[in-house]
């Protein structure tokens, strides 16, 4: 039976035209670290998969100025997968379908909120222990979403997300952002954004982001206020970071802090270096330390590699 199903799949694939297959862009990356971790109860050694992923994306022209677009992206845990199948090592990331044209792009499905997208590439330790999601609220990727992104006008873009309540006792969520410049700092020397969440994943958030480059230096900052929708917890905080490019190496440092009204403050400092072996492959090292007022402190020291395809 398995052989028959495999034969049928091969027959169907062989019947597809080359042009149809060529419209599919297959991509991904593997990011793995070996690290010494201390969550407050003693250090231990672990191997971590840091948002390793693969995906398919593409588009199809419908008429002049209008395209259908799609993306199906999956996260793969390449370190904790159980050979017996007891642990799921594949989970959903951004997955949507929609339209793109002179009006911008509108997609429906699971997607990063406008506020999360507006972060750009500010977070120098994204997907690692020093990721800003471990200090700041608002890093949401949600289903039941309708997302809009305008085309660029004089460097400005508008982003918006609508998150359906999906429950009679819940409320619809909204996320909006205004950005300026190129998040990769390749087409502009400055990237800036202001964004806000309302009733998104239990929080209201307002965030301002700016990043710029001066020769081989990149400097960034973020300010954020956040509040639980029930009013039970308020906090405000900021992030500052710097990166210096020296040949194939990037040296980076990042500090972030969040001050809560109940004095349960949280701060983190991270330092690291990336070494590029080629366009798609790098090795890196990092150290992150978290200072928790009312909880145990945490420390992480790691070495890793990332390969993009």
pLDDT at 71 over 90: yes
Q: What is the pLDDT of residues 217-230, one digit of tens each?
A: 999 999 999 999 98
What's the whole-model pTM score?
0.88
Question: pLDDT band for position 165 (50/70/90)?
Answer: confident
Q: What is the pLDDT of residues 255-309, one digit of tens each?
A: 999 998 766 789 999 999 999 999 999 999 999 999 987 677 899 999 999 999 9
Q: Please state the three-class secondary structure of the chain as a single string.
A: CHHHHHHHHHHHHHHCCHHHHHCCEEEEEEEEEEEEEECCCCEEEEEEECCCEEEEEEEEEEECCEEEEEEEEEEECCCCCCCCCCCCCEEEEEEEEEEEECCEEEEEEEEECHHHHCCCCCCCCCCCCCCHHHCCCCCCEEEEEEEEECCCECCEEEEEEEECCCCCCCCCEEEEEEEECCCCCCCCCEEEEEEEEEEECCEEEEEEEEEEEECCEEEEEEEEEEEECCCCCEEEEEEEEEEEEECCEEEEEEEEEEEECCCCCEEEEEEEEEEECCCCEEEEEEEEEEEECCCCCEEEEEEEEEEEC
């Amino acid at each position: 039976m398995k052989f028959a199903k495999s034969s049928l799949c091969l027959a169907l694939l062989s019947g597809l035209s080359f042009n149809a297959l060529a419209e599919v862009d297959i991509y991904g990356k593997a990011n793995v670290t070996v690290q010494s971790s201390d969550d407050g109860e003693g250090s231990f050694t672990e191997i971590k998969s840091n948002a390793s992923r693969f995906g398919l994306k593409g588009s199809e022209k419908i008429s002049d100025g209008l395209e259908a677009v799609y993306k199906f992206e999956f996260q793969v845990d390449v370190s904790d997968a159980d050979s017996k199948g007891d642990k799921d090592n594949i989970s959903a990331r951004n997955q949507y379908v929609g339209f793109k044209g002179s009006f911008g792009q509108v997609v429906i499905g699971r997607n990063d909120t406008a506020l999360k997208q507006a972060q750009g590439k500010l977070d120098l330790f994204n997907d690692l222990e020093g990721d800003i999601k471990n200090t700041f609220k608002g890093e949401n990727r949600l289903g039941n979403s309708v997302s809009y992104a305008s085309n660029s006008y004089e460097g400005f873009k508008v982003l918006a997300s609508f998150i359906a309540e999906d429950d009679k006792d819940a409320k619809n969520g909204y996320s909006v952002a205004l950005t300026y410049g190129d998040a990769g700092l390749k087409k502009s020397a400055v990237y800036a954004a202001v964004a806000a969440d309302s009733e998104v994943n239990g929080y209201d958030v307002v965030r301002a982001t700016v990043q710029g480059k001066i020769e081989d230096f990149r400097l960034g900052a973020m300010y954020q206020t956040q509040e639980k929708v029930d009013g039970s917890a308020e906090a405000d905080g900021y992030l500052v970071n710097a990166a210096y490019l020296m040949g194939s190496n990037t040296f980076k440092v990042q500090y972030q802090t969040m001050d809560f009204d109940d004095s349960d403050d949280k701060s983190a400092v991270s330092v690291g270096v990336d070494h590029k072996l080629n366009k798609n492959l790098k090795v890196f090292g990092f150290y992150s330390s978290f200072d928790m007022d009312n909880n145990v402190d945490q420390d992480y020291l790691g070495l890793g590699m990332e390969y993009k395809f």
